[in-house]
Amino acid sequence: MAATQPLLNRRLITDWLGIAPFAIFAVMFLIAPTVYLVSGAFVDPNGNLTLQNLIDLFQPNILAAYVISIKISAASAIGGAIIGFALAAAISLGGLPSWVRSAVLTFCGVASNFAGVPLAFAFLATLGRLGLLTIVLRDVFGFNLYGAGFNLLSFLGLTLTYMYFQIPLMVLIITPALDGLKREWSEAASVLGATSWQYWRMVVIPILWPSVFGTLLLLFANAFGAVATAVALTGSSLNIVPIVLFAQIRGDVLHNPNLGYAVAFGMVVITGISNFIYIWLRMRAERWQK
């Protein structure tokens, strides 16, 4: 017994040595920075524990930033999810030629990665004051977009822009789930005399809702954390959370470092909750995809 004990320990030590590089990396460059900010949100500049920073998040300009960020993220996620679902259903169940399906999927792969600064440029060239669509609407259809109150640097403009990567992401995630609907299920339903509405309501929706709702949350978190598009599109003229945080990191515009940590903490809480529910729902949904 005494002889085997050190041997066991040595094996245990090599086991942990093998995982050590990853553990050190994860702690230094992922966990520690996050923990540092999160704990910083709960202390005042002198190091005393406080909830004041979190309470200060509710001052009008920061609260407004959160509200508009949540509105834009929710609108672009819901819009992206509805249109993306329609598109995915069309290519998966609509009986379209197979080249349409592969063309749509390949394009979605590209467009879901086409975010950041270039996406902002593309929408400025489309719907900016001198954008093609703005000019065509004005000269051909006699409709003055900006005269009608539209502004690309607004809730509607940013939502339209974000949907350019939200819709493809929805298509890419939900198409496999739609493909997973077994033909037997619809046949069984119609043999039993179900209308196609009943089939959707009593079979498809109960099976798909975890995937759809989960993806909706993923899209929400995705839009909420998008910094580059917002910064490139609006400069700092629109008051949304990523821009506030970006400015705060650049130059302490809130005049309180700990309040900055609290803004970051608020972001992590919101993206964290939506991602955790997404991952949980995804595990639920995978039961049906085997």
Partner 1 sequence: MTAKKFWSWLAVFVAAFYFIVPLLATLEFSMRMRRGTYSFDAYRSVFADDRFASTFSYSVVMALITIVVGALLIVPTAYWVRLRMPYLRPVVEFVTLLPLVVPAIVIIFGYLRLYNSSSWLPLTNTDMGANALLVFGFMTMSLPYMYRAVDTAMRTIDVAVLTEAAESLGASWPTILFRCIFPNVLTGVLSGAFITFAIAVGEFTMPSLLNRPAFGPYLALIGANKAYEPPALAMIAFAMTWVSIILINITTRLQKGAAGAR
178 within 8 A of 148, measured Cβ to Cβ: no
Q: How far is the CB of 187 from partner 1 (least distance, A)?
A: 15
Question: CA dist 62 to 187, 225, 244, 268, Å?
Answer: 54, 16, 8, 15
**202 binding partner 1? (CB under 8 A):** no
Phi, psi of 49 (to 5 degrees): -65, 135
Contact with partner 1 (CB under 8 A) among 54, 68, 275, 288:
275
**89 binding partner 1? (CB under 8 A):** yes
Residue 124 to residue 197: CA distance in whole angstroms: 42
**221 binding partner 1? (CB under 8 A):** yes
- Residue closer to partner 1 (CB basis): 33 or 45: 33
Q: How far is the CB of 273 from partner 1 (least distance, A)?
A: 9
**283 binding partner 1? (CB under 8 A):** no
**272 binding partner 1? (CB under 8 A):** yes
Residue 83 to residue 170: CA distance in whole angstroms: 9
Q: How far is the CB of 189 from partner 1 (least distance, A)?
A: 16
Closest Cα to residue 169, out of 209, 208, 229, 212? 212
**72 binding partner 1? (CB under 8 A):** no
Chain residues 9-28 in contact with partner 1, contact rule CB under 8 A: 14-15, 18-19, 21-22, 25-26, 28
Chain residues 38-57 in contact with partner 1, contact rule CB under 8 A: 40
Chain residues 127-166 in contact with partner 1, contact rule CB under 8 A: 130-133, 163-164
Closest Cα to residue 41, out of 269, 268, 262? 262
Residue 68 to residue 240: CA distance in whole angstroms: 6
**227 binding partner 1? (CB under 8 A):** yes
- At 43, is the secondary structure helix, strand, or coil? strand
Contact with partner 1 (CB under 8 A) among 9, 10, 13, 36:
36
Burial class, 213, CB count within 10 angstroms (exposed 0-12 / middle 13-18 / buried 19+): middle
Phi, psi of 247 (to 5 degrees): -65, -35
- Residue closer to partner 1 (CB basis): 15 or 286: 15
Chain residues 90-129 in contact with partner 1, contact rule CB under 8 A: 90-91, 93-96, 100, 104, 106-107, 109-111, 113-114, 116-126
Contact with partner 1 (CB under 8 A) among 13, 55, 67, 86:
86
